[in-house]
Amino acid sequence: MLAEYREAFTAFSGNARLYLLGQTLLWIGTNQFALLLSLYLKSVGYSENTIGGVLATKALGSALVALPASFIAARFNLKKLLPLAAVFVALANLAQGIADSGNVVLAAAFLAGSFSTVFQVSSGPFFMRNSGEGERMHLFSLNGALSMGTGVVGSLLGGGVKDLAVALGADEILAYRIGLSIGAAFMLSALLPFARLKDGTAPEIRRVPVKGDSRSDAIGAGLWIKLILPGFLIGLGAGLTIPYLNLYFKDVFRLGDGAIGVAVAAGQVATFLGMASGPLFARRLGKPLTILITQSISVPLILVLAWIHWLPLAIIAYMARQALMNLATPIQDMFALELVPPSRMITVNAVKMLAWAGSWTISARLSGYLIWQGGFAPSFTITAILYTLGTLLFWIFFIRGKTQRAPLAPAQRGQGSGKGIEG
């Protein structure tokens, strides 16, 4: 796997490398905030309910701005838009860590979610336009893996900076603000690689044939359903489970916070390895079959968590589920964009993001009630059912009765790297 990534990395365009560096800096800062912000707000007197409102406001900003952000990203030069977005993301997040007014914190949270959406809706189409077919799968998978790897780095850095500030004599609130300010500085530094992006001619992107496709720039209703519905069901299932895994280990197995942290870190490592290994599976099995198999295997793993309360097996099932479900994520993103015209990629990315965020929000809210009433087993079982339905629909839409396109031979990898972006 390492040899493949070395080979693919040499074929990455300069734009792709700069974008990866910018994303990495953003994610390090974002993960520092994810660790410290709630703790900081609690230390200055916010209740858990109010803190939840701040986090929900940030998510609301992302959801509401997804489609407008897609139109902006499609019409403006990304080498000018992305550095500007990095500046506003940094300032909005910094405001959450230094503002004394609750209303200012809420407004800053909404703006932080809104501006960060620019990167989420533009990354997949950007990679499609700035890579050749040989290295594209590795580019998508490396981007996904880095999102998890930086989670470990950002969390360790955020906690370490806060503890160091306290050890040097700062009071707790000032120490949190120092940690949050350094996180904002990482976000701000992302403007440097984004500002160095180059204009150029984007490579031709070969679309995967779709039955009934007119090959025009329009996307038919049938293709929209195929692209959105399976992921919507998977998102519903994920929202029932993922936000409550920490609580699951605490309530079911009575683990302490330190042990839960170790379990979550192990899950992040497994996710990193899963995402990074995606190209190996996609090349041998094809992208659709890889998605189908990894999601299918995840279903019994969720049922293990729901019904078999033996800690060693639960940890193994948790890590394997994290690796398998997330292995398919970059592959799904790339596969979906291969099905649509280049002019519609950013819009498709935004609608997929909106569907996922909406389904997650709905089910995460419902799952709290389900867990309160009946424990984790009913909620996790419904997750397994929704995963099964989403995977079955994916099989019907994209695999049943279809022959998969042959994967690239090793000799083809690394050829035809794209060098440009579209403004």
> What domains can be seen in the chain, in order of their start residue?
1-198 (1.20.1250.20), 217-407 (1.20.1250.20)
**CA–CA distance, 302 with 298 (Å, rounded to integer):** 6
Tokens (6 digits) for 71: 């139109």
Residue 422: pLDDT over 60: no
Which residue has tokens 């009433």? 373
DSSP letter at 216 equals S
Q: Please give the pLDDT value at position 346.
A: 78
Q: Please give the pLDDT value at position 412.
A: 41
Residue 161, number of CB atoms within 10 A of its CB: 20
Query: Band of the pLDDT at 410, cuts 50, 70, 90?
Result: very low
With a pLDDT cut of 90, the percent of the chain lying above it is 26
Query: Band of the pLDDT at 423, cuts 50, 70, 90?
Result: very low
Q: Which of 370, 114, 342 is nearest to 240 (CA)?
A: 370
Q: Please give the pLDDT value at position 20.
A: 92
Query: Band of the pLDDT at 305, cuts 50, 70, 90?
Result: very high
Higher-confidence residue of 72 and 408: namely: 72
Read off the pLDDT of each residue in 147-156 and give the average, rounded to a whole number.
77
**CA–CA distance, 382 with 279 (Å, rounded to integer):** 30
Q: Please give the pLDDT value at position 419.
A: 36
- Its pTM surpasses 0.85: no
Angle at CA 233, nearest 5°, toward 229 and 237?
A: 165
Which residue has tokens 């497994």? 270
Q: Please give the pLDDT value at position 369.
A: 75
DSSP letter at 340 equals S
pLDDT digit string, tens, across residues 14-43: 899 999 999 999 999 988 887 788 778 878
With a pLDDT cut of 70, the percent of the chain lying above it is 87
Q: Please give the pLDDT value at position 408.
A: 43
**CA–CA distance, 334 with 328 (Å, rounded to integer):** 10
**CA–CA distance, 128 with 205 (Å, rounded to integer):** 7
Higher-confidence residue of 387 and 75: namely: 387
**CA–CA distance, 315 with 253 (Å, rounded to integer):** 11
Q: Please give the pLDDT value at position 417.
A: 37
- Torsion of Cα atoms, 46 then 117 then 151 then 326, to 10°: 120
Q: In the predicted model, what is the mean pLDDT of the chain?
A: 81
Read off the pLDDT of each residue in 138-152 and give the average, rounded to a whole number.
81
Read off the pLDDT of each residue in 241-262 and give the average, rounded to a whole number.
76
